[in-house]
Structure 1
């Protein structure tokens, strides 16, 4: 296998990994005000993702950096087209990070409400904007023979791109609710489970439309193959697991659903990396946008050396904080239940 193909697969893994891992904490960020009606309940939801959210965002940085290094032409064309949208993405990332750190610093209802809303809005914008960006790669943007974007901001708002944004938003909400089912107790867990059912039903329809539409955009007909159906089947499995109260299986199913959704975009896109809506001859491909062979060899060596270390560290983090965050029961307004070792505090 050529190195440029290897790096295309690696980049697809990075972006898929980002949405799998960041998807649940985006979902929790959007839902923490819904599952938590009191401040203590909201802190339980936030602390469920407290040890993970910043590490999850590293996958986005690495995914973007890998495109820059392995496919500089792709990076230049895609990121210049998304310039304004990326500014909003960066602001949303900053606002989310600040909200996690600042929300509990002042004992003031107005202060905490402000940063709770910042967390909610920032978490909502990210899956939509990044989903539109990914969808535009497949449906096409106006780029010329030099790979330069020739459209306006509104050319980014393609119907398929917007639907990918809606799909990732719906899956993030479902993924976040199943994560709270897995990681919390008491009223937060129960409310998350009640939300997950309707989210799963809605996601089945949304993902089914996405799957057929993606197959059409990839010019492969209208009947998706078995691989493309993974996301739909996973959402159906998630709905079943939520109904029967299988928290672990529900979260595993939503993991497969959001992973299969993002992966199907990259599968449908190959051998292109960015489609031109102006002329198919201007498409950027894996072959014509890759870096030189020497650069790819060096990157491959670096990835072999350091990527396993990153995976092991992140796996260790999830293992250490594997226990549920203990929250208040329906009739309690007091402090949280005593925690077991490895259980995050709600302070």
Structure 2
């Protein structure tokens, strides 16, 4: 493997890791989705939003970082998907804006709309945020309707900016909602977020009544998640994929993702450990153990990381084109230049410091929340 290919694989790993962390942090959205199921009174809902409100900014920051890293390392995907499927991405942005507005104004003095209005904003974000993100990620496996023509870079006759990628439907990404496979993944992500949100409540809440409701709410979410995820995963293993040969030509390969797991045993092992960890967290949650979320979170990160690596590594087109197979994006044909990837790789060495800061912020915000709760008592 030459230097450029190594850098491309390295950056796809980092992108996959950021995506995996983002899915884990969606426990905030999951907690918001069951806000009225667990919190029966305004005081209980204030307790729930209080424990979630100290973490939502970390989720939003990770989402922005994920998009920024994609733009820097694989700009052709950014311009194709974010510039073509913009209805889906604008919908995702809108529901996250609703979340920010909800936390800012739900307890604001003089709120003329009432706290329930902004609680509804939080629930909309809690349900649609993970669902739409899951649908968007699903297109990495099922494909999207676009074409790519690099010769357009030389076409400046119109006097405007050159456009490499073109979306071929007027729905601009919303057509992904018509795919059963994408919907199954979106529902799986939404249910996983609820599962993790309930486990997070088990960890952070001191009220035994709220903890018991969280445990009870976790069980149906866990069962539904397993059913939807297994249906999606089995279908993925049996479906066709898009393989790339040494000349960069792309062709359909039956059972491509199954082959990827068999040909990358380390990735398959990570996936297996992740799934077992998630199952163990469900058992711990059933028993009411407060540390279940750490196993659920670790399992989520490992599972999503393995699935995203399966989508991009082993000569696989990670963003297939259903309009023109040769327009499909791979980590080789959509990445930044060698120089850009090298410079960013040096910068990426500071990632452990960023992770340490996030952990410090997490602990500090949790400490402030606990101190405020003691004062209120």
TM-score range, shorter chain: 0.7 to 0.9
Q: How far apart in 2 are the matches of 1:165 and 1:285?
A: 23
Q: Which runs of 5+ in 1 are unaligned?
A: 326-338
1:293 equivalent to 2:338? Answer: yes
Verify the 8 A CA contact 2:311 2:318 in the aligned structure 1.
Answer: yes
Q: How far apart in 2 are the matches of 1:104 and 1:69?
A: 39
Q: How far apart in 1 are the matches of 2:105 and 2:95?
A: 15
Change in CA separation of 1:44 and 1:345 when aligned onto 2, cut-off 3 Å: farther
For residue 230 of structure 2, what is the aligned residue in structure 1? 208
Q: How far apart in 1 are the matches of 2:235 and 2:271?
A: 11
The TM-score normalised by the length of structure 2 is 0.80
Q: How far apart in 1 are the matches of 2:238 and 2:303?
A: 15
For residue 214 of structure 2, what is the aligned residue in structure 1? 192
Change in CA separation of 1:279 and 1:53 when aligned onto 2, cut-off 3 Å: same
For residue 42 of structure 1, what is the aligned residue in structure 2? 45
Change in CA separation of 1:237 and 1:3 when aligned onto 2, cut-off 3 Å: same
Q: How far apart in 1 are the matches of 2:337 and 2:375?
A: 49
Count the aligned residue pairs. Answer: 330
- After superposition, residues 137-286 of structure 1 pair within 5 angstroms as 137-146=140-149, 147-153=165-171, 154-157=174-177, 158-186=179-207, 187-217=209-239, 218=241, 219-220=255-256, 225-248=268-291, 250-270=292-312, 271-286=316-331
Change in CA separation of 1:342 and 1:76 when aligned onto 2, cut-off 3 Å: same
For residue 100 of structure 1, what is the aligned residue in structure 2? 103
Q: How far apart in 1 are the matches of 2:344 and 2:83?
A: 24
Verify the 8 A CA contact 2:85 2:167 in the aligned structure 1.
Answer: no
Shift of 1:226: 4.5
For 1:13, what is the secondary structure of its paired residue?
helix
Change in CA separation of 1:230 and 1:39 when aligned onto 2, cut-off 3 Å: same
Q: CA RMSD in A?
A: 2.5
For residue 156 of structure 2, what is the aligned residue in structure 1? none
Verify the 8 A CA contact 2:215 2:285 in the aligned structure 1.
Answer: yes
Q: Which runs of 5+ in 2 are unaligned?
A: 150-164, 242-254, 262-267
Change in CA separation of 1:346 and 1:38 when aligned onto 2, cut-off 3 Å: farther
Q: Deviations over 1:82-108 (max 9, x none)?
A: 201111111111110010010011377
- After superposition, residues 49-128 of structure 1 pair within 5 angstroms as 49-106=52-109, 111-128=114-131
For residue 361 of structure 2, what is the aligned residue in structure 1? 317
Verify the 8 A CA contact 1:51 1:321 in the aligned structure 2.
Answer: yes
The TM-score normalised by the length of structure 1 is 0.87
